[in-house]
Structure 1
Amino acid sequence: MSCLAQDMQDNNLKLSIESLHLQVNFLYDAGPTGGRRKPEASIKNNYVTLRPQYPQVEWKRLVQVKGMMPRHQFILWMTLQRKLSTVDRVLKVDANCVLCNTGHIENFDHLFYACRYSSCVWKTMLNWLGYHRQVGSWEYEVKWMISRVKNSRPRAAILGFCFAAIIYSIWIERNNRWFNAKKGSTTQRLKEIAIQVHIEGQRHINWKPHLDQLIGYPN
């Protein structure tokens, strides 16, 4: 056996022994009267101790709302982290918003919800759901949503579903205008979401009393 191979074998053996010692120390008391298993020792506790610890985010519950469509959930998750590929992030240049066509530069804060188009869509949906309030900045809306979906009540789930659907719809509309030269009205987008929430509601019996009160389409 070559010297290099022998050194590698010795090193692997050393790492294995160190790993074994680490596991033993986790499981057993290493004091003068060692040998007794620690009462809190378990595979689960060891895993929690060894794995990297990440900071908690306030919006965790917002992306876990029951009934949310996977594609809506993914775009919501991206949006909450401000990872959507807006023009200012991708091209590093200024370009006008294609949704409102008012000459405002497209960036994240404009898209959600300084834009007249996106603000109108979200406010109209809120009114349809029975929440009569003014639409604020993205941070303000997220904080408001977090406070509303803390419980697992049907009305909170419906609101969370619509919030994610609105964000997804705004992003799809933006992409259609940028890349396909297709325009959809706010009425059309809202009608699609209303249909989606009623279809999803058929899978959740406790949604029915609330959905029965939503007559017609948002307008």
Structure 2
Amino acid sequence: MASQGPLLPQFPLGPRHTFIPSSAPLSTVISEDTWSWPHITDMESIDITHDLPTIHGGQDRILWTGPRGSFSSAAAYDLFRPPGPTVDWTSLLVGTFRIPRHRFILWLAVQGRLSTTDKPWLQHLGSGCVLCQDGIPESHEHLFFMCPFASECIRAIRREVFFHWPYYNWSSVIRWASARWRGKHVVNAAYRALFASLVYHLWQERNFRVFQHTSRPTEEIVRIVVSEIRDLIICKQLPRTVSTRGLYRLWRIPWPVEGVAHT
């Protein structure tokens, strides 16, 4: 190591300037415990070789280090598989009221990875949406939430819970919800949980109709979705704050209720 950092990047032209093959081991330039470079005429390379530290006797060791100096399996994983680009929609998957199975289905849905029948290898299941049965091809954009069945679920939920809904297409809804319901505020956390629950139960209803040939009306879907999130809010024993009071009012939960911690 020189003061400029690792040696290898300091010799980009390799054999041309140092007359040493790029595949040569370090021992090629060490003789009797001292540096032994070939005749080098390039001034930049000469300056680098003069800046090298003195070799001290000792046993050679191979060390694995990460960007911060110490080794960890996580750092090694990141080096072998660099992380992908940051996406805004990850904010929809976190929060106080998250339910793992809901998060998983939402994670698939926002990436367009649910097994909808618009995919060529699933067209044997039929191409039309089984929720609205209007003959419209099933896709993520249709199911969430252009489908009349899904739209009616949203309208019914809005009669139970106070929240704004833009009625955009799926990709626009994801961007809108990611920006509007971002952060740790309990109201936004509850809306994210509601969003994930609705996506989960619409997909579940779709699977019931495709594989079990059973169906539920929109009223039943809405009852399940709203009850799930209301129960989560009550069971969390949130502190008696202005934010919690606002959350209860939006969800039409009586205040005070048993289960809210007293401070």
TM class by shorter chain equals 0.7 to 0.9
Identical-pair percentage? 24
Residue aligning to 1:139: 171
Residue aligning to 1:91: 122
Q: Which runs of 5+ in 1 are unaligned?
A: 1-16, 19-29
Q: Point out which structure has higher relative CO (alpha carbons under 8 A, 6+ apart).
A: 1
Following TM superposition, by how much is the alpha carbon of 1:145 offset from its aligned partner in structure 2, in angstroms?
Answer: 0.9
The one-letter amino acid paired with 1:106 is E
Larger Rg: 2
Residue aligning to 2:190: 158
Determine the C-alpha separation between the residues in 2 that align with 1:134 and 1:57: 21
Contact 1:129 1:159 in 2 (8 A): no
Determine the C-alpha separation between the residues in 2 that align with 1:32 and 1:126: 71
Following TM superposition, by how much is the alpha carbon of 1:48 offset from its aligned partner in structure 2, in angstroms?
Answer: 7.4
The answer to whether 1:64 aligns with 2:94 is yes
Query: What SS is found at the alignment partner of 1:140?
Result: helix
Following TM superposition, by how much is the alpha carbon of 1:77 offset from its aligned partner in structure 2, in angstroms?
Answer: 0.8
Contact 2:190 2:229 in 1 (8 A): yes
What TM-score do you get using the length of structure 2 for normalisation?
0.62
Q: Which runs of 5+ in 2 are unaligned?
A: 1-24, 27-48, 56-64, 254-263
The answer to whether 1:170 aligns with 2:207 is no
1:196–1:43 distance in 2 versus 1, CA, 3 Å = same
Residue aligning to 1:76: 106
1:127–1:141 distance in 2 versus 1, CA, 3 Å = farther
The one-letter amino acid paired with 1:211 is Y
Contact 1:165 1:193 in 2 (8 A): yes
The answer to whether 1:211 aligns with 2:248 is yes
The one-letter amino acid paired with 1:67 is F
What TM-score do you get using the length of structure 1 for normalisation?
0.73
Residue aligning to 1:112: 144
Residue aligning to 2:257: none
Q: Which has the higher helix share?
A: 1
Query: What SS is found at the alignment partner of 1:91?
Result: helix
Determine the C-alpha separation between the residues in 2 that align with 1:34 and 1:185: 80
Determine the C-alpha separation between the residues in 1 that align with 2:78 and 2:118: 41
State which drifts further: 145-154 or 159-168: 145-154
Which residue among 52, 60, 68 is the counterpart of 2:81?
A: 52
Determine the C-alpha separation between the residues in 2 that align with 1:34 and 1:48: 34
Residue aligning to 2:53: 33
1:38-69 alpha-carbon deviations (Å, 9 max, x no partner)? 99523369647624212222211211233211
The one-letter amino acid paired with 1:144 is W
1:154–1:32 distance in 2 versus 1, CA, 3 Å = same
